[in-house]
Amino acid sequence: MPDISEKGKNMPASPIRKLVPFADKAKQRGIKVFHLNIGQPDIETPQTMLNAIHHFDQKVIEYSHSAGTLSYRTKLAQYYAKLGISIQPDDIIVTTGGSEAILFAIQSAMDPGDEIIIPEPFYANYNGFSIEAGINVKPIPSFIENGFALPPISEFEKAIGPRTKAILICNPNNPTGYLYSPEELKLLRDIALKYDLYLFADEVYREFCYDGRHHFSIMQLEGLDQHAVLIDSVSKRYSACGIRIGCLISKNKQLMAAAMKFAQARLSPPSVGQVAAEAAVDTPSEYFDNVKNEYVARRNVVVEAINKIPGAFCTSPQGAFYVMARLPIDDSDCFCQWLLENFESKGRTVMMAPGTGFYSTPKKGLDEVRISYVLKVEELHQAMECLAEALTLYPNRK
């Protein structure tokens, strides 16, 4: 039998999805599973998007331009202008979700064997994307005690070597919910300029900032036009993960010309998805006000419940809709699987993402889990009750 590729062997399984078979079996046994493992919001998609889909009347669903339709890119430029980000439609390539934007950015800027610095824990698929592109992740540790704030710049400088080409951040952060301040981003700008590095920023959770905090984009940093690369998506913003529309943005013409060749090779982003995404730009601000209020209430339920559990700890995230929590457990992979295979309370159990999958460094995250607070408040109360009871019964509790 022919062997598979080394890339295929080395691609990590998703920590967010790898336990799905165990969850399916639990459901087959009649157990209700509270899904806290995946960032799939239950918030309704804006009516503006749904109306655009309902009224779609093209007789032929054609390829779009490889960079995305001009009308959508123009509308996007207007959206960013309201945020204080000045770009032109030609600075945008529409992609099949934010995932494709990350792949285009990495492959346009870096060669196999090059290195990218990422504060960890980080979005699990960054590991997979790096393996696909043949590049190496250089992780910089951040710590739960200070909410996973930006590590000292001295740690970045220690990690920079001759093959280092880029720094990647997620802001607000998945999985930690940390929101980087303008001051922290300026420190990253300075190091990117000092060492002539790209600064990639995944900003797909921009609309979800709490406690009076506001998002600041790397595209608002002065002097970084040739270094800044923005990754964005409609998936979380409009609770439309299945639309599969994202974008890659940069004022670096050489980088965008290279990315355009990758865009042409995959032909075009989804045409119907772009119609819906273009309509979404007109979503009223009240929609986001209501969504943020809902997420704050959900966050507070989870944070309060976690910190009441003996031996457990988390800080209160300032953005996104995730909590990275430390639990009194030996191995988060074993614990999360045990919850689905061996535990139930009143016919219920909890599914979470093991912390190990959000690190590049081996053995990190063994006592951490990522919790997505994407369920309604009442369900989150029940899920947290389940988790607290499970921790009293888990045989390998620390």
In whole angstroms, give the CA distance from residue 380 to residue 36: 9
Helical packing angle, 47-54 and 271-280, nearest 10°: 140
Average pLDDT (42-54) is 95
* Confidence at residue 241, expressed as pLDDT on a 0 to 100 scale: 95
* Confidence at residue 187, expressed as pLDDT on a 0 to 100 scale: 97
Is the pLDDT at 22 greater than 90, yes or no?
A: yes
**What one-character DSSP code corresponds to residue 13?**
P
Nearest alpha carbon to residue 22 among 210, 13, 95: 13
Statement: 47-280 belongs to CATH 3.40.640.10: yes
Architecture of the 6-44+286-393 domain: Alpha-Beta Complex (3.90)
In whole angstroms, give the CA distance from residue 109 to residue 124: 21
* Confidence at residue 40, expressed as pLDDT on a 0 to 100 scale: 87
Evaluate whether 150 touches 184 at the Cβ level (below 8 Å): yes
In whole angstroms, give the CA distance from residue 236 to residue 222: 28
Q: What are the beta bridge partners of residue 232?
A: 247
Pairing mode, if any, of strands 228-233 and 246-249? antiparallel
E strands present in the chain? 32-35, 92-95, 115-120, 136-141, 164-170, 198-202, 228-233, 246-249, 322-326, 348-351, 353-354, 368-372
Q: pLDDT confidence of 12, banded at 50, 70, 90? A: confident
* Confidence at residue 13, expressed as pLDDT on a 0 to 100 scale: 78
Q: Where in the chain is the domain with CATH 3.90.1150.10?
A: 6-44+286-393
| Angle formed at CA 374 by CA 369 and CA 376, multiple of 5 degrees | 120
- pLDDT tens-digit series, residues 307-366: 999 999 999 999 999 999 999 999 999 999 999 999 999 999 999 999 999 999 999 999
Q: Where in the chain is the domain with CATH 3.40.640.10?
A: 47-280
* Confidence at residue 14, expressed as pLDDT on a 0 to 100 scale: 78
- pLDDT tens-digit series, residues 115-162: 999 999 999 999 999 999 999 999 999 999 999 999 999 999 999 999
Is the pLDDT at 398 greater than 90, yes or no?
A: no
Is the pLDDT at 251 greater than 90, yes or no?
A: yes
Q: Write down the pTM of the prediction.
A: 0.95
* Confidence at residue 39, expressed as pLDDT on a 0 to 100 scale: 87
